[in-house]
Amino acid sequence: MVFITAEFNTRERLGNENGAGIVIKREGNRTLIVTNRHVIFDKDSRQEGKNIQVEFFSQPPSGKVRMRRDAKLLVMTPPDDSMDLAVLEVIGNLPKDIKPLPTSANPIHRGMSIRTIGHPFDQVPWSRDSGEISSHSNQQILISVKVAIKAGYSGGPVINSQNQLLGIIVERDSASGQAFAYPMSVIKEKLRNLGLAL
């Protein structure tokens, strides 16, 4: 997964904002990352964030920091589309351990134990929280975690106990500690409609 930052200068959003994403494809020196559209695009002003950067979750050599690369928006769902998705492209050599997480082939069910990973603005990046599936449908997963999901988790993975990907977080209710996520099946179908075959 990745830590995403984008710079905004709008009436509602000013300065750098955090988000998350997952690597969905790696071919040679080209890497594709899926996240939420709102992480890198301001719907109200119709402006794309500037200076989009991603930091990759990799074990750096001793004394070094995790690799950070510039990213560009490759494709996103239209601003009025209810599916809040965007794909970023990074060109450049990356550590060998940067690769897509395996997607779970098992059915999602209520009560399933899960973990989330995100980058809340008021905590340490790469925060991990445990929780469970509260409910689900073909289009959406409702998750409940022990710590309230905050801004910075958008685009972050929902992972099962086998470290397999179930979906990505798209919306949160900070008061209840619940969040909504898109299942990977829905994400892959939408990306195919956008012309990206995984």
Instruction: Say if residue 71 is in the same domain as residue 147.
Output: no
Would you say 116 and 123 are in contact if contact means Cβ atoms under 8 Å apart? no
Q: What is the pLDDT of residue 60?
A: 63
Cα separations in angstroms, 50 against 31, 79, 107: 19, 17, 38
Structural domain including 172 reads: 113-185
Would you say 161 and 27 are in contact if contact means Cβ atoms under 8 Å apart? no
Q: Would residue 173 count as lying in a domain? A: yes
Q: What is the pLDDT of residue 78?
A: 94
pLDDT tens, position by position, 5-56: 999 988 888 788 889 999 999 999 999 999 999 999 998 888 999 999 999 8
Instruction: Say if residue 141 is in the same domain as residue 76.
Output: no
The two tokens of residue 171 are 């919306």
Q: What percent of the chain has pLDDT over 70?
A: 92
Q: Would residue 174 count as lying in a domain? A: yes
* Helices (H), ranges, 73-179: none
pLDDT tens, position by position, 114-173: 999 888 777 777 888 888 888 888 777 777 766 667 778 899 999 999 999 999 999 877
Instruction: Say if residue 37 is in the same domain as residue 76.
Output: yes
If one counts the domains in the chain, the total is: 2
Residue 88, classified by CB atoms within 10 Å of its CB into exposed (0-12), middle (13-18) or buried (19+), is: buried
Q: What is the pLDDT of residue 35?
A: 97
Cα separations in angstroms, 13 against 22, 79, 172: 24, 17, 18
Q: What is the pLDDT of residue 129?
A: 84
Q: Would residue 108 count as lying in a domain? A: no
For tokens 């990074």, name the residue. 90
Q: Would residue 143 count as lying in a domain? A: yes
Taking the mean position of all CA atoms in its chain, how far away is CA 98?
15
In the predicted model, is pLDDT for residue 70 greater than 70?
Answer: yes
Instruction: Say if residue 175 is in the same domain as residue 138.
Output: yes
Q: What is the pLDDT of residue 45?
A: 87
Would you say 109 and 120 are in contact if contact means Cβ atoms under 8 Å apart? no
* Residue of higher predicted confidence among 87 and 128: 87
Q: Find all residues with CB under 8 Å of 64, minimum gap 6, and list them.
A: none
